[in-house]
Amino acid sequence: MTLVPYEDGIMMDLTNRPLAGRTAVVTGAGRGIGRACALCLAGAGASLVLLEKDDAPLQEATAAIEKLASRPLPLQLDCTSETEVERAFADARKHAGRIDILVNNVGQSARERATEFWQSSPEIWRFVLNVSLFATLLCSRQVVPEMRQRGAGKIVNIGSHVAFTGEVGLADYAAAKMGVVGFTRSLALELAPHGVTVNAVCPGAVDTRVLERMSEEAVAELKSAIPMRRLARPEEIGRVVLFLAGPDSDYITGQSIVVDGGQWMV
């Protein structure tokens, strides 16, 4: 095995490309965890289809992946729109022939609009549930029939440790991400007889642009609550996703792997 560093902490194995010949679709691939997942998968030899709402990060991620592999297919869309999602996956199939791996990364809390539940509004609940749960169901629905028929496929959903720990001000997000966990388990049972695995990765606090909205004191407090006393790096989530998307995890399905430095222990 010959490992070489790439960017963002990604390590590329020049001698072992376990995902060569496979196509992976990553939602929300332009930034943070989604970008790291895409880079990890590309480093393992996969061909990538990148789904992202914002054009600038989509193009940046595309350029980064081009240094690792052949040009990915970048598609700009809103993953909560049924019409746009159906069109994007049709384009992905036309480009790649088939989809072997789906990483459902798109998701978002209410962020600056987050409040305690008694002050919250149905409008915000709908937004959070749409982007953090409905988009996962919608994108999965595009690939499940072909994976089921083919008798092979990998679906990896990005949840959150908040689904298990809860957090004041994030009731809607915790509900959405626990929905992702429940969906993962149910779909895994459905597809297990057909050779398709479905798993979830549930990160804790990750060093992404979301933290830019927080004060230094708040970030320090966040770190102090983590037994490892640091935030996760995006590529540390990406490597777990890579494991679940690859052949070494063929007998693992329906699981939710928490990656949070020891905050939540099952």
- Residue 2: the pLDDT is 45
Q: Supply the pLDDT for residue 235.
A: 96
* CA-closest candidate to residue 17, choices 47, 38, 37, 59: 47
Q: Which two tokens stand for residue 3?
A: 């490992």
Residues of the chain with pLDDT under 50: 1-3
Tell me the one-letter amino acid at 61. Answer: A
Q: What is the pLDDT of residue 250?
A: 98
Strand partners, 101: 24, 154
CATH dotted code for 20-249: 3.40.50.720
Q: What is the pLDDT of residues 239-253, one digit of tens each?
A: 999 999 999 999 999
Among the listed residues 89, 173, 183, 243, the single catalytic one is: 173
Q: Any idea where the domains of the chain sit in the sequence?
A: 20-249
Over residues 161-201, the pLDDT tens digits come to: 999 998 898 999 999 999 999 999 999 999 999 999 999 99
- Using CB atoms within 10 Å of the CB of residue 260, give its burial: 0 to 12 exposed, 13 to 18 middle, 19+ buried: buried
d(CA 244, CA 24): 12
Other C-beta atoms lying within 10 Å of the C-beta of residue 29: 32
Question: Where does residue 32 fall: left (phi above 0), alpha (psi -120 to 50 degrees), or beta otherwise?
Answer: left
Q: Among residues 157, 160, 139, which one has the least CA distance to residue 80?
A: 139
How confident is the model at residue 209, as a pLDDT? 77
Query: Is 173 tagged catalytic?
Result: yes
